[in-house]
Structure 1
Amino acid sequence: MKNKGFVVSLTIVISLLCIYYLSFTFVAQKIQKEATEATTDASGNINFAEKQRYLDSIWNEPVYNLLGLDYTYQDIKETELNLGLDLQGGMHVTLEVSPVDILKGLSGNNQDPDFQSALITAKTNIRGTQNNYVDEFYRVFKASAPDKSLAFIFSNTANRGRISLNSTDEEVLDIIQAEVESAIDRSFNILRTRIDRFGTSQPNIQRLQGTGRIQIELPGVDNPERVRKLLQGVAKLEFWEVHEINEISPTLQAINDLLVKEQKATLNTEDLTASTETVQEDLSLLTEDDNASDTADTTALAEGDSATSNLDSALNSQVSPLFSLIKSQYGLVYDVKDTSTINRILQREDVKSVIPSNVKFLWSVKAIKSEAVGSPELLELHAIRTSRTGKAPLTGEVITDARQDLDQRSRPAVSMQMSAAGAKTWRRLTASNVGRRIAIVLDNYVYSAPNVEGEIPNGNSSISGSFTIEEAKDLANILKAGALPAPTTIVEDVVIGPTLGKVAQEQGIISIVAGLGIVIIFMVFYYAKGGLIANVALFFNIFFIMGILAQLSASLTLPGIAGIVLTIGMSIDANVLIFERIKEELRNGSGLKAAISTGYSKAYSSIIDANVTTFITAMILYILGQGPVKGFAITLMIGIACSFFSAVFITRVIVEAFSKKGDNSKLSFANAFSRNALVGLNIDFLSKRKMAYIFSSTFIAVGIVAIFIKGLTLGVDFKGGRSYVVTFTEAAVPSALKASVAPYFDNQGTEVKTYGANNIMKITTSYLIDDETDAADLKVKNALIEGITASGLTYSTNADLGPDSFTISSSSKVGATIADDIKNSSYESALFALIAIFLYILIRFRKWQFGLGAIVALFHDTLFVLSAFAIVSLFGITYEVDQVFVAAILTIIGYSINDTVVVFDRIRENLGIKTGSEMKKVFNESLNSTISRTLITSITTLIVVLVLFIFGGAALKGFSFALLIGILIGTYSSIFIATPVVIDLNTKKDAKAVKA
């Protein structure tokens, strides 16, 4: 083997990287365990608030040293292998920013009937499509009012200078599109800040490009109602005057004296006197330059000598943390990790009593971090000057526009315009604060506190400072938070309880271990020492998958575990191909070294084709899939790449090392049982093709009839609605439970079925499906609880159930609009996968008959699985058709084409050798020579999928059932559908003989 040294070196490098990244996961788990133990009382109850405080206290502290480098807990959490919500519990929310309200606001709430009608019609028209709302609105508006211009609707005082009555429709559309994008960005920035302050570990928030949606994942959330209020709360933008340090120094001194008094008992008089003098000296340093605490100076100070910004460490035990923790001589600047301590001080009732009514303290939203290595992140605490009424002098509603600009020195700045009423108030406010600061506050966090250089008479202002262009854009978006209404609606809401997540973890681990164990035993049994080598490659494969997931900071989900289990079965395929080829060469009289070399080279093209086609389907699934399906696709793609490297290259290095001396006793690829198994077969498969056609047609026809009779059970993510997993103390009867709850759902579509155990039920309803408000969510949930309690059971809010009680373990809501989008993207996934595979087969085999034969087989497999779902539903066994089902179908497509390509590859090889032979004979010989590989790969994959079906839990029952049917029928179709179709598509002349 050439480049053996490179393969060994690369394996070592990848292994070391995997060990490096996975080590953070083990450290994180260790710290989590320590935090749990430290906050668990004698009764075994965990104080989650205390646990979070414990973890916050070490957030920026070094907790792990590796290769001489210190890593904080934050570094570890950012690098560890994350668990998806389905494995640890938490909340997944998708919010939609309403373009309808944006356009209403931009128009000044214009009541033109054509305009109002177009807003509603456009929203209805784009439902279930990927069409742009603004484009659809314009099309509908012009269809109903062709003589009206957009300028007629949107020209108003708020848009003065941007839109006039002379503006063209194209110009107005550009402004509308920009405003919609700006509103989405604004909402995203606000939500990101709120989530970062929420206190959950590893929050994930991202914009779904091409839509007005924002997706948020919050692991470990135990208060969903609080999250919903937090996410949908109206942004509160305010402008406040700022107290300078010298104005609040008496207040700060009073707070310090109050706190120091608590320490008097442990201090002697001499120490106390020194402490008081030191505090007064440091307080005077803070008030030397009242105007030096703007962003630029604070940043400069953060980079300065830390010795000048801290109090004498010897006296720290004798002064309050309010002063001892200060990191700046120019303002109240603290290390991020100390902010919780300062918050506790300011929240004390005795401290509140000494703070004047016109003072409130607010933190900066953004931490300042010096470029110096090891320097802490700092936050400034601002003293805000409040009024008697508690209302801000100016609020965000008066801002008509804000954009990123450049100041006179060509530095990034923000340009801001106000309405006439706002400009009048702004003039008074700036006139009375020349040389002082005004804080821009959103959701009670200070985004900027610029100095006022002079009175601003006309409402046009420029805010400059040490901004980057991105920071200036963000601030401009924040300033526009009050300019246009852009409410967010929760269109998808999934809550998974921690108990359910823990069960899913256990089921996933059992699936992996059991599947791995069975495959290892089978490979050694069938391929002897060659099987051991394949198992080593399998170990590297799984190790690499986990390590790469950690490197990518990806989340391991339950479907992701299914992907690993599936990879276990499919990764054996490459070794089966190679070993079967080696055995074939050995039977033909080749020596061991020659057989190994020829076996690898002949199997190589089949392995490439099989992996590429499967990778194509996984990639399409990743691009078009959503939520857990993406996790499955990522794992599958990584698994395909890792299995190819480990099965083809790592095994070859080991095989050649064993065969170096040419001693056949050191290496074998079969035992007495498997050496000649399935060898010398001469089955006329193609003569049975008409029987296969009849069988497949009959089964699919029965399935279609079953679909018309009963229909497929669509999951909530395909049809919309709300779904709840309810756990009972005792076993429940689905039919009785449905009869109990259906009246409370106004007898609208309600489904009840067991969910993994007879005391766990999944209840799905379309009640209030078109109402996505929080009030509707609460109404449906209360209706569910009332319906169940009517049968005499008691509702419990925690997992510790008493007798005759129940609890809601998880819930999910999918709005009708997003359900349509998910369904359509699923159809697109399947369609694009089929097209891509057809083109690949066409290019590789250079005959359209092969491509079409493969596609016919894939359509056959898909219809067969759908028919199987419909037929079993007639016997009371229902599996949902949802996103995960689509992932299963695409996996089946990938697996089936994998199998078909191997057969086609052997046919292509034999067509090149046996020119002049009858085509049917060549095809039959190719099928017979590959049957051993086909059956062994199917058996190993079927074993691990069967394990997944048995141990994978209710969440993966439908997925694994689809795979079971798909693997069986995929193997069948590659022999009895795909290959015969190629024969039938050839002309009689071509079918008679193979031309040279």
Structure 2
Amino acid sequence: MLQIDLWKRVLIWAVCIAGLALALPNAFYTRVETHNDAVAAIEVAGETPELAAKSAGWPSFLPSSLVNLGLDLRGGVHLLAEVQVEDVYKARMDSMWPELRNALRDARNDVGTIRLQPSGDDELRVKISQPEGMARAIEVARALSQPVSSITAAGARDLDVSGDGDVLIVTLSEAERTAMDDRTLQQALEIIRRRIDEVGTREPTIQRQGADRILIQVPGIGSAEELIAIIGTTAQLTFQPVIGRGSNADASVPGGQEVLPSLDEEGLYYTLETAPVVTGEELTDAQPAFDQNGRPAVNFRFNPTGARKFGDYTAQNIGSPFAIVLDNEVISAPVIQSHIPGGSGIITGNFTVEESTKLAVLLRAGALPAGLNFLEQRTIGPELGQDSIDAGKIACIVAFVAVLVFMFLSYGLFGFFANIALLINVGLLFGLLSLIGATLTLPGIAGIVLTIGMAVDANVLIFERIREELKSARGPARAIDLGYEKALSAITDANITTFITAVILFAMGSGPVRGFAITLGIGILTSVFTAIFVTRLLVVMWFERTRPKTIEV
């Protein structure tokens, strides 16, 4: 018989009210977005969330989650970056030189004196004074080789070692270069994502393309230059021992040393040991601050490993200068006055407040493992996005009105109930999109339009089934009950197959395809809920109130 338990009725209406409440902020998109930005800014300044909400002009007791607009709707920046993986090869070999040098020094009786020769990015060439000891030198170098950290290269070693007369040649193996390329891309993806998240941008698209490229799409950014300034800096921070200083940029230095310019003093160059004592990879935090003279600076803190290295070096080199190097420029080279335990310190220089804040963001997010070469830059204006939104609105309204009119003309009062459920369905759809923080793109709007068209399919199946039951001389209550019962399997089968398609599109696709899959998948869930539960509840409530002897569907 037609009856629904009270607790089920309460649960159905509670779900509907909750979904519509979550969707409500999207009806006041600009106001709520301004509110969210104001709350974030005021809370950063140290105010309470309540004061922030009051200051922003949106009631604090209402939800404030929005459906994020994608690049094609909101405008923003599209970049295609190529990662310079060769930079990582060079850094790897530079960091290996001190270890190789010390190992060969221990075998000096066999190999003689050693001297680093000009080398390529992925190799070390070391000249030994006793060529007859080359076999011993190769043995020592091979002992430093490690297994490649990649499942696909199980058993491979990271170094290839050979000799050419009196020159020992150590190169990265092909398997190690492939593994490093993959690690570099993954690390670059994560650091770019962190840097963009630090700025507070909503739902960027950051994904790998090919072997060495990254696609970056960020809604809401005004220009490509602004985004490149955030993510294009490698922010490689190192702390290196100072050998000397002078004004000659082309000074000849032995292997294991390098000449870098001063960031603050034009024409001044420092000769440094290439191997750093500590690197930015061992930083755990960096915050903008002011030094004792009130000038902008950056406070930093190392992890335990970096803190130990930093503390040991400062204890052993009191009175010696120590260079702080950022992207191959010496920020400052202070003299170590005393032992610095605890692993914290301050970076000073001729910074503005904005520059110190930006540097802290870059250091906190982490250093890019390699430089980026931007192959493609496009700025998409918000006007184009607004045109897309307007076109999407028109499409949704036309589809909505056409479905409402068709249902009412075809099924009368029952069609009216289906129309109410359709309105609730769209509200639930936007509510769920807001809840999960989904990004709405132009294909996503297409998915919503398709959902509107498909949403009444279940009701059509049910109503046609009720008509058949009425023709079999069933009573109104029995016909309605059997209509819902017998149509359920067909509704379930049809929507499960479509939902599986949406899941596959989401899993295998990217960008716009995912946007379509998300709205289609969520639309299927809300459509089934409103057709099976909401429409039936409306019909039962009407039937209980009127108790008709006959019905027309």
User: TM-score band (shorter)?
Assistant: 0.5 to 0.7
CA deviation vs aligned residue, 1:597-626 (integer Å, no higher than 9, x gap): 111111111111100100011011011111
Equivalent residue, structure 2, for 1:151: 159
Equivalent residue, structure 1, for 2:235: 235
The amino acid of 1:431's aligned partner reads N
Aligned runs of 1:79-118 on 2, under 5 Å? 79-99=65-85, 102-103=88-89, 106=92, 109-110=121-122
The amino acid of 2:15's aligned partner reads I
Equivalent residue, structure 2, for 1:454: 339
Is contact 1:567–1:640 with CA below 8 Å preserved after alignment? yes
Equivalent residue, structure 2, for 1:581: 465
How big is the shift at 1:11?
3.2
Is contact 2:239–2:278 with CA below 8 Å preserved after alignment? no
Aligned runs of 1:348-367 on 2, under 5 Å? none
Percent of residue pairs identical: 29
State yes or no: 1:593 paired with 2:484.
Answer: no
Distance 1:87 1:559 in 2: 10
Q: For residue 216 of structure 1, give the secondary structure of its aligned residue in structure 2.
A: strand
The amino acid of 2:160's aligned partner reads F
How big is the shift at 1:562?
0.8
How big is the shift at 1:229?
5.6
Aligned runs of 1:788-803 on 2, under 5 Å? none
CA deviation vs aligned residue, 1:415-437 (integer Å, no higher than 9, x gap): 4999xxxx9xx957973479x99
Is contact 2:77–2:223 with CA below 8 Å preserved after alignment? no
Distance 2:283 2:52 in 1: 44
Distance 1:73 1:398 in 2: 53
Distance 2:414 2:476 in 1: 13
Distance 1:595 1:54 in 2: 55
Distance 1:153 1:554 in 2: 51
Equivalent residue, structure 2, for 1:631: 515
The amino acid of 1:15's aligned partner reads C
How big is the shift at 1:531?
0.2
How big is the shift at 1:658?
2.0
In structure 2, stretches of 5+ residues that fail to align are: 94-119, 125-148, 164-169, 242-262, 285-301, 346-361
The amino acid of 1:580's aligned partner reads E
Is contact 1:195–1:203 with CA below 8 Å preserved after alignment? no
State yes or no: 1:657 paired with 2:541.
Answer: yes
User: Which of 591, 607, 615 is the aligned partner of 2:499?
Assistant: 615
Q: For residue 121 of structure 2, give the secondary structure of its aligned residue in structure 1.
A: coil
Is contact 2:79–2:377 with CA below 8 Å preserved after alignment? yes
Is contact 1:400–1:417 with CA below 8 Å preserved after alignment? no
Distance 1:6 1:415 in 2: 60
The amino acid of 1:608's aligned partner reads T
Is contact 1:403–1:477 with CA below 8 Å preserved after alignment? no
With over 3 angstroms needed to count, the CA separation of the structure-2 counterparts of 1:66 and 1:549, relative to structure 1, is farther
The amino acid of 1:642's aligned partner reads T
Distance 2:319 2:9 in 1: 69
With over 3 angstroms needed to count, the CA separation of the structure-2 counterparts of 1:24 and 1:581, relative to structure 1, is closer
Equivalent residue, structure 2, for 1:293: none
Distance 1:396 1:15 in 2: 65
With over 3 angstroms needed to count, the CA separation of the structure-2 counterparts of 1:586 and 1:176, relative to structure 1, is same
Equivalent residue, structure 2, for 1:413: 304
Distance 1:72 1:433 in 2: 58
Equivalent residue, structure 2, for 1:567: 451
Q: What TM-score results when the alignment is normalised by the length of structure 2? A: 0.62
Equivalent residue, structure 2, for 1:668: 552
Q: For residue 79 of structure 2, give the secondary structure of its aligned residue in structure 1.
A: strand
Distance 1:105 1:75 in 2: 53
How big is the shift at 1:17?
3.1
How big is the shift at 1:232?
3.3
CA deviation vs aligned residue, 1:78-126 (integer Å, no higher than 9, x gap): 83221112112112335453556544654562469xxxxxxxxxxxxxx
Equivalent residue, structure 2, for 1:220: 220
The amino acid of 1:454's aligned partner reads H
How big is the shift at 1:439?
7.3
Is contact 1:93–1:215 with CA below 8 Å preserved after alignment? yes
With over 3 angstroms needed to count, the CA separation of the structure-2 counterparts of 1:477 and 1:70, relative to structure 1, is closer
How big is the shift at 1:645?
0.4
Aligned runs of 1:250-399 on 2, under 5 Å? 398=276
Equivalent residue, structure 1, for 2:317: 431
With over 3 angstroms needed to count, the CA separation of the structure-2 counterparts of 1:13 and 1:663, relative to structure 1, is closer
With over 3 angstroms needed to count, the CA separation of the structure-2 counterparts of 1:594 and 1:95, relative to structure 1, is farther
Equivalent residue, structure 1, for 2:532: 648
Equivalent residue, structure 2, for 1:337: none
Is contact 1:523–1:535 with CA below 8 Å preserved after alignment? yes
Distance 1:405 1:54 in 2: 30
The amino acid of 2:494's aligned partner reads A
Q: For residue 222 of structure 1, give the secondary structure of its aligned residue in structure 2.
A: coil
Distance 2:52 2:427 in 1: 20
Is contact 2:79–2:216 with CA below 8 Å preserved after alignment? yes
How big is the shift at 1:486?
2.2
How big is the shift at 1:543?
0.2
The amino acid of 2:527's aligned partner reads S
Is contact 2:282–2:306 with CA below 8 Å preserved after alignment? yes
Q: For residue 383 of structure 2, give the secondary structure of its aligned residue in structure 1.
A: helix
Distance 2:436 2:328 in 1: 33
With over 3 angstroms needed to count, the CA separation of the structure-2 counterparts of 1:154 and 1:135, relative to structure 1, is farther
Is contact 2:240–2:272 with CA below 8 Å preserved after alignment? yes
Is contact 1:85–1:91 with CA below 8 Å preserved after alignment? yes
With over 3 angstroms needed to count, the CA separation of the structure-2 counterparts of 1:602 and 1:528, relative to structure 1, is same
Name the structure where helix makes up a greater proportion of residues: 1
Q: For residue 544 of structure 2, give the secondary structure of its aligned residue in structure 1.
A: coil
Name the structure where strand makes up a greater proportion of residues: 2
Equivalent residue, structure 1, for 2:12: 11
Is contact 1:81–1:553 with CA below 8 Å preserved after alignment? yes
Equivalent residue, structure 2, for 1:497: 381
Is contact 2:19–2:431 with CA below 8 Å preserved after alignment? yes
The amino acid of 2:69's aligned partner reads L
Distance 1:29 1:614 in 2: 34
Is contact 2:443–2:515 with CA below 8 Å preserved after alignment? yes
Q: CA RMSD in A?
A: 5.5
Is contact 2:189–2:208 with CA below 8 Å preserved after alignment? no
Equivalent residue, structure 1, for 2:204: 204
Equivalent residue, structure 2, for 1:46: none
Distance 1:443 1:660 in 2: 80
Q: What TM-score results when the alignment is normalised by the length of structure 1? A: 0.37
How big is the shift at 1:557?
1.3
How big is the shift at 1:441?
6.2
Distance 2:373 2:473 in 1: 71
Q: For residue 304 of structure 2, give the secondary structure of its aligned residue in structure 1.
A: strand
How big is the shift at 1:504?
0.7
How big is the shift at 1:585?
0.6
State yes or no: 1:513 paired with 2:514.
Answer: no
Aligned runs of 1:805-816 on 2, under 5 Å? none
Equivalent residue, structure 2, for 1:845: none
With over 3 angstroms needed to count, the CA separation of the structure-2 counterparts of 1:489 and 1:429, relative to structure 1, is farther
State yes or no: 1:531 paired with 2:415.
Answer: yes
Is contact 2:76–2:221 with CA below 8 Å preserved after alignment? yes
With over 3 angstroms needed to count, the CA separation of the structure-2 counterparts of 1:7 and 1:507, relative to structure 1, is farther
The amino acid of 1:89's aligned partner reads G
The amino acid of 1:109's aligned partner reads D
Higher relative contact order (CA 8 A, sep 6+): 2
How big is the shift at 1:13?
3.1
Distance 1:70 1:443 in 2: 44
Is contact 1:90–1:220 with CA below 8 Å preserved after alignment? yes
How big is the shift at 1:568?
0.6
Query: How many pairs align?
Result: 438
Equivalent residue, structure 2, for 1:741: none
